[in-house]
Amino acid sequence: MREKISRREATRLIGATAAGLLLPTGASRAQAKSESSTILTRAIPVSGEKLPIIGLGTWQTFDVDLAPPAIKPLEEVLSAFVKLGARVIDSSPMYGRSEQVIGDLVAKLEIRDSVFLATKVWIRGKQAGSDSMERSLARLQTKRVDLMQVHNLVDVTTQLATMRDWKAQGRIRYIGVTHYESGSYVEVEKVLQSEKLDFLQINYSIVEREAEQRILPLAQERGVAVIVNRPFGGGDLFGRVRGKPLPDWASDFDCRSWAQFLLKWIGANPAVTCAIPATNSPRHLEDNMQAGLGHLPDANTRQRMVEFVSSL
Ligand SMILES: NC(=O)c1ccc[n+]([C@@H]2O[C@H](COP(=O)([O-])OP(=O)(O)OC[C@H]3O[C@@H](n4cnc5c(N)ncnc54)[C@H](OP(=O)(O)O)[C@@H]3O)[C@@H](O)[C@H]2O)c1
């Protein structure tokens, strides 16, 4: 991660510059500009490969007709997503036409090398799991998927065994498991302890913070990358903040919207590798991507953010 400087420090430097004491060179100005326009990344613990901290979920939003009126905004979403430097796209055979829509658009836009495709297996039985993964790769139009996850831990031991075989054959790059509700954390914890995983995908947001207690520390301890689902509480969080002004101190960490406030709060947790907000709106996509730029809130500010949202 880039080094952060505090607002006070930034103000001091700007003041010094204005007084002619610290004139930035052309090179350092260019560097500052490029740093603030480059999406922040975190390393996958098992490999060191870096992923941008903001990705894209596709539940509901990508389950659409392949005809132009529905597909056009999604094409714009994916095109902007890649142009803005993001990579992780999450799907599942459980998400209706999502995998097929992603596969078609990735092929049409010729962006396979720029994206990190994550999908899931959500079925019982060894053969059924293998067949499901074959269908996912076919729909995604790829010979090798970046991440395969056991959706909601369904038949987890069986599916992980197959996924390890596929990984050895080079058809899957990373393996993981997912869940989305705290009632299942005991089971998630057991799997994290007993299996060697590359990734965990779990729900975490400013109003769903239970993963902080045991799941995120355990993932860190076990060297497991964390993808955060439901970063906006499935969208419910917007009902809470809509029409309310951002606190003026949000600009301290380069935050200009509620979506950025909620995503930066997640991205600032060092246990998190990437958050995957879902949207079918190009405007919302651009907003969400801004959360991956500039400064992130420090620990004290994150606490202040929790209190602020709780008070609304
Ligand atoms: N068990 C699992 O594996 C599991 C469970 C849950 C989720 N997931 C994954 O995680 C992803 C994210 O979770 P989620 O889809 O449940 O919910 P979410 O990302 O928390 O919220 C999505 C909602 O937020 C809205 N939204 C997005 N950006 C916005 C913005 N900038 N301003 C205003 N509204 C905005 C979207 O509407 P618009 O389309 O109008 O922007 C959509 O209704 C899923 O899509 C899926 O890929 C996995």
Closest atom, ligand 1, to C-alpha of 90: 47
More confident call, 24 vs 81: 81
pLDDT at 260 over 90: yes
Judged by average pLDDT, the poorest of 26-35, 45-54, 132-141 is 26-35
Give the Cα separation of 159 and 140 in Å (integer). Answer: 19
58-110 pLDDT, tens per residue?
A: 999 999 998 889 999 999 999 999 999 999 999 999 999 999 999 999 999 99
Q: Is the CB of residue 180 less than 8 Å from the CB of residue 203?
A: yes
Residue nearest to ligand 1 atom 48, measured at CA: 229
Contact residues for 270 (Cβ-Cβ < 8 A; gap 6+) = 42, 220
pLDDT at 8 over 50: no
Q: Which residues of 263-300 are buried (b: 16+ CB within 10 A; e: fewer)?
A: bbbbbbbebbbbbbbbbbebebbbbbbbbbbbbbbeee
Place of tokens 């998400």: 95
Residues in the ligand 1 pocket, defined by CB under 6 Å: 57-59, 61, 90, 151-152, 178-180, 201, 229-235, 238, 259, 276-281, 284, 287-288
Residue nearest to ligand 1 atom 24, measured at CA: 235
33-46 pLDDT, tens per residue?
A: 555 679 999 999 99
Q: What is the model's pLDDT at position 17? A: 30
Give the Cα separation of 108 and 102 in Å (integer). Answer: 10
Judged by average pLDDT, the poorest of 60-69, 129-138, 226-235, 253-262 is 60-69
Q: What is the model's pLDDT at position 68? A: 86
Stretch 111-139: mean pLDDT, rounded?
98
Distance 56 CA to ligand 1 centre (A): 8
Give the Cα separation of 284 and 277 in Å (integer). Answer: 10
Distance 277 CA to ligand 1 centre (A): 5
Closest atom, ligand 1, to C-alpha of 227: 10
Residue nearest to ligand 1 atom 19, measured at CA: 277
207-235 pLDDT, tens per residue?
A: 999 999 999 999 999 999 999 999 999 99
What token pair was written down for 106?
């990735």
- Cα end-to-end distance, the chain, whole Å: 32
Q: What is the model's pLDDT at position 31? A: 54
Chain Cα centroid distance, residue 106: 18
Q: What is the model's pLDDT at position 231? A: 98
Kindly state the percentage of the chain with pLDDT values over 90. 87
173-208 pLDDT, tens per residue?
A: 999 999 999 999 999 999 999 999 999 999 999 999
Q: What is the model's pLDDT at position 254? A: 96
